[in-house]
Every structure is written in C-alpha cells, then in structure tokens.
A and B are shown apart, each in its own frame.
Chain A
Amino acid sequence: MTLLMILLCMTGQSAQGEDGCFYHEFRLGICLFTSIPAMQMEKDFADICSRAGVGYELDTFAWDWSIEFLRDLSERFRIRGSAGISSFNGSYKKYITMHDRAFSIDAQAFFLVNRGKDISFSAGAGPVYVWVSRNLYSDNTTQAGSGSNIGLIASLRLDQEWPWKIGNMSLLLALEAGYRSNSVVLDNEEADGFEVDFSGPFFKFGSYIGL
C-alpha cells in the first residue's frame, strides 16, 4: 500500500498553491502521543505475580514522543517520516519495576481527503520498524531482553495551519488517531518467545514548523 501511495505521489500533480493552500513545505515537528498497547504477555506476567501474592500493577497507557518531518508531494499526497520512543511500565511498590521501551522509525504516505486553505484531513499508512527492550528490576537484580520487528501503522490526521508565523516559519498543528501493529519477540534465549506488543490504537498531538 505504501509503495502504491508513493508511486501515486511521484506521478501525481505537483501544483503550486494558487488557491492559497500550503503545498511543498518541508515541516519539522515534535509530537506527543499516547496509546493503549496490547501487551498480552505483560498482562499474563502480572497475573502470575498476583497469584504469587505480589500486587504487581501494570500501566494501561504507553506514552510516546517523536520527531517527525512532513512534506507535501502534490495537492493530494503527503509523506511523513518519524522517529520516536514509547514507554510502558509496571511495578510492585519500590521492589520490582518493569520498563518496556520501543524505539520506532516509521514512514507513512498520506492521501489528503479534504484540503482547505488552513485545514486538511488525510488518511495514511506505512511500515514501522521497532526495536524493543524489556528491563525488569528488583532490588538486587536486573533482567534485560531486546528484539526488533517490522510492523504497520495506519492513521487519520487533521492538520491546522496556524494563522501566525514565528519569524518566517509557519506553524502547523496536528491531531492524529490511528492504529499500529508492531509486536516484537525478544531475541534472548531465556525469553524464548516472550512478546512485547506495543500494538494498539494511538492518539497523537503534534506541532510542526515550516522550514
């Protein structure tokens, strides 16, 4: 799907913004987002802890931030690349803590469903590469595992061009909601099939400057 969209971008119209729409700008932004990751095996681990009488608590949400770039390729197509970090935690008081971290790089192609002078609405999809680490700490020990995988991400975006500028730089605000699929099986031998699964719906807020 991404290849198809990129192909469409290459062959698509590359018009200037005669109607005042914001085309052809390279934008750099920072995004904060939250997601509800599946984390089924972490939930199973929490269940075992509970059976052992340890009230281990697992977060519901993962928290993320990313650095992103946006570029309009034509009136109807836009690409987005981003690199981000997600974190998901669990703990039993101060004695046991678990940190799942994901470093992800994704590339998405967006089709602009509706484009106004200041607001645009788009839908996109693309691949995401994710590297995951899991660290379980107790007072005297640390157990660490890691792995990587490629997944998919799909989302809807609403972009709002801000009426003011910072110097010569325009400002764009964005809301995005979507779903990502990026579970990772840890590589280390003792993990043997343990899956850290950041897959789930996400909601993102971002601000971008036009360069």
Chain B
Amino acid sequence: MRNTLIVLTVSVLLMIGCVGFGFGSGSSLPFERVTDEFDFDYQLSADGVVDVNVMNCYMNNIRILINGELQTSGSHTSSWDLLDEYGIRVEDGIYYIQIMLDDDVIETDMYEVYK
C-alpha cells in the first residue's frame, strides 16, 4: 500500500513537471510539422466561392490548391502534396495555407515542411 502511494505520488509529480516544463507531446505547437503529403480540414460558415493557396515565408503564393470553387457551408478537407506550382517539391521551411471565402481570408495555418 505504501509503495503504491509513493509510485502514485511520483507519477503525479512527474506529470505535473512534464506539463509545467513543456515536455509534452509537442501538440501544443500552433503549427504542424509535415514531411509528406497531408490532409487538412477547414470550416465554412456559409456557402461561397473558396480559394485555398499555399504561401512561403516571403508571403508569395507558390501553389493554388483550390481556385474559385463553389462550396457549401460546413466542414471540408483538402490536401497538399508539398509541391509548388511547377510540380517541384518545395524547399524545407515555413509555409502557410490560406483559406479564403468570397475573397476574405477566413483561416491561415502554418506548417513546418522538412524532409
């Protein structure tokens, strides 16, 4: 019984320490790390014309994923194969996916792309 209590106490302390010092799974990062093609979700609050672009760290569009497509409100999924507009894999680095509804940016997501 005493040993069990010690083990429980140590476990709880370790968990508190891990959370407190940020040694978690890394899921708290506000951007994703990707090495290969991936899917991403986005929500539309209304029906409308959707554009989805990939931008590099110089804020230049390097790929159009969805170009003026009429979509209904609700949840949608798309994907990026890490290729640019010429079909070449992008250099490692920071990229953004920008989702626009009727020419208004409704969501921007950051990704760290590396091999």
Q: How far is the CB of B30 from chain A (nearest CB, A)?
A: 4
Whether B59 pairs with A194 at a CB distance below 8 angstroms is yes
Within 8 A of A (CB), among B34-62: 55-60, 62
A51-B105 contact given A141-B94, A190-B91, CB 8 Å threshold = yes
Interface of chain A: mostly helix, strand, loop or mixed: loop
Per the bound structure, the CA–CA distance linking A45 and B31 in Å amounts to: 15
A138-B59 contact given A49-B110, A52-B30, A54-B31, CB 8 Å threshold = no
Interface residues on B, range: 20 to 34
Taking CB atoms, residues of chain A closer than 8 Å to B113 are: 141
Taking CB atoms, residues of chain A closer than 8 Å to B30 are: 52-55
Chain A: which residue is nearest B84 at the CB level?
A190
Interface size on A, residues (CB 8 A): 26
Whether B58 pairs with A186 at a CB distance below 8 angstroms is yes
Partner of B112, one of A41, A138, A145, A193: A138
Does chain A have a CB within 8 A of B93?
yes
Does chain B have a CB within 8 A of A158?
no
Within 8 A of B (CB), among A39-87: 41, 44-45, 48-49, 51-55
Does chain B have a CB within 8 A of A192?
yes
Number of A-B contacts (CB under 8 A): 69
Does chain B have a CB within 8 A of A95?
yes
Whether B59 pairs with A140 at a CB distance below 8 angstroms is no
Partner of B58, one of A49, A54, A141, A192: A192
Whether A143 pairs with B33 at a CB distance below 8 angstroms is no
Chain A: which residue is nearest B33 at the CB level?
A140
New contact pairs (11) apart from A139-B33, A193-B60, CB-CB < 8 Å:
A44-B59, A45-B59, A48-B59, A48-B96, A54-B110, A140-B112, A141-B93, A141-B113, A143-B94, A192-B58, A194-B59
5 closest Cβ pairs, A-B complex: A194-B58, A140-B114, A52-B110, A141-B92, A53-B30
Residues of A within 8 A of B (CB): 41, 44-45, 48-49, 51-55, 95-96, 136, 138-143, 145, 186, 190-194
